[in-house]
A and B are shown apart, each in its own frame.
Chain A
Amino acid sequence: MTARDRIVLLVVAAAAVLAGFWFLVLTPKRDDGKELDAKVAAAETRLQAAQASASAAQDAKQRYDRDYATVARLGKAVPVDDDVPSLVYQLESVSKHNKVDFRSIKLDSSSTPTAAAGAAGATAGSASTAGAALPPGATVGAAGFPTMPFSFAFDGSFFRLEDFVRDLDRLTSVRGDDSIDVKGRLLTIDGIALQAGPKGFPQVSASMSATAYLLPADEGLADGATATAPGAATATATPNTSAAQSFRSDR
Chain B
Amino acid sequence: MKAVNLIPGDVRPGAGGAAGKSGGAAYAVLGALALIVAMFALYTKTNASLDDKTAKVATLEQQASAAETQATSLASYTKFAALRTKRVATVKQLAGGRFDWAHALHELARVLPPNVWLTDLTGTTSPEARVEGGASSASGVRSALPVPAIEITGCTTSQSSVAKMMARMRLIDGVQRVTLIDAQKSNSAGGGPADAAAGGSGSGCNASPQFPTFHLVVFFEQQASAVAAAPGQTGPTPAAATTPGTTPGTTPGTTTGAAPTSTTPTATTATGASPSTPATTGVTK
Since A18-B39, A173-B95, A238-B82 are in contact, a sample of 18 more A-B pairs with Cβ atoms closer than 8 Å, ordered by chain A residue number, is A10-B28, A17-B35, A47-B63, A50-B64, A50-B67, A56-B78, A102-B285, A105-B283, A115-B238, A116-B98, A120-B90, A151-B279, A162-B249, A174-B92, A178-B92, A192-B134, A233-B79, A240-B85
Chain B's closest residue to A57 (CB) is: B74
When C-beta atoms are compared, the residue in chain A nearest to B226 turns out to be A119
**Beta-carbon contact of B24 and A29 below 8 Å:** no
B100-108, B167-175, B261-269 - interface stretch:
B100-108
Chain B residues whose C-beta falls within 8 Å of the C-beta of A97 in the assembled complex: none
**Chain A: interface residue total (CB-CB under 8 A):** 123
B96 on the A face (CB < 8 A) = yes
A172 to B279: give the CA distance in the assembly, Å. 26
Chain A residue at minimum C-beta to C-beta distance from B233: A119
A74 on the B face (CB < 8 A): yes
User: Which of B56, B119, B204 meets A40, CB within 8 Å?
Assistant: B56
Does B84 belong to the interface (CB within 8 Å)? yes
Measured CB to CB, the residues of A under 8 A from B are 3, 6-7, 10, 14, 17-18, 21, 25-26, 29-30, 32-33, 36-37, 39-40, 43-44, 46-47, 49-51, 53-54, 56-61, 63-64, 67-68, 70-71, 74, 77-78, 88, 101-112, 114-116, 118-120, 122-125, 137, 142, 145, 151, 153, 158-159, 161-163, 165-166, 169, 172-174, 178, 180, 182, 186, 188-202, 205, 207-209, 213, 215, 219, 222-223, 225, 229-238, 240, 242, 245
From A30, A108, A196, name the one whose CB has the most chain B CB atoms within 10 angstroms. Answer: A196
**Interface set, chain B 6-61, CB cutoff 8 A to A:** 17, 19, 23-24, 28, 31-32, 35, 39, 42-43, 46-47, 49-50, 53-54, 56-57, 60-61
| A173 (CB) vs chain B CBs: closest residue | B95
In the assembly, what is the distance between CA of A119 and CA of B237, in Å? 7
- Count how many pairs of residues, one from A and one from B, have CB atoms less than 8 Å apart in the complex: 386
* Interface-centre pick from B76, B96, B129, B237 (highest chain A CB count, 10 A): B76
CB distance from B146 to the nearest CB of A (A): 8
Residue ID in chain B nearest A32 by CB atoms: B50
Instruction: Check A115/B78 contact, CB under 8 A, given A33-B50, A40-B56, A47-B63.
Output: no
Q: How many angstroms from the CA of A201 to the CA of B108 in the assembled complex?
A: 13
Interface mask (B245-281 → A, CB under 8 Å = 1, otherwise 0): 0000101100000000000000000000010011111
Q: Let me know if A193 and B84 touch, CB within 8 A.
A: no
Residues on B with C-beta less than 8 A from A50 are 63-65, 67-68, 71
Q: How far is the CB of A223 from chain B (nearest CB, A)?
A: 5
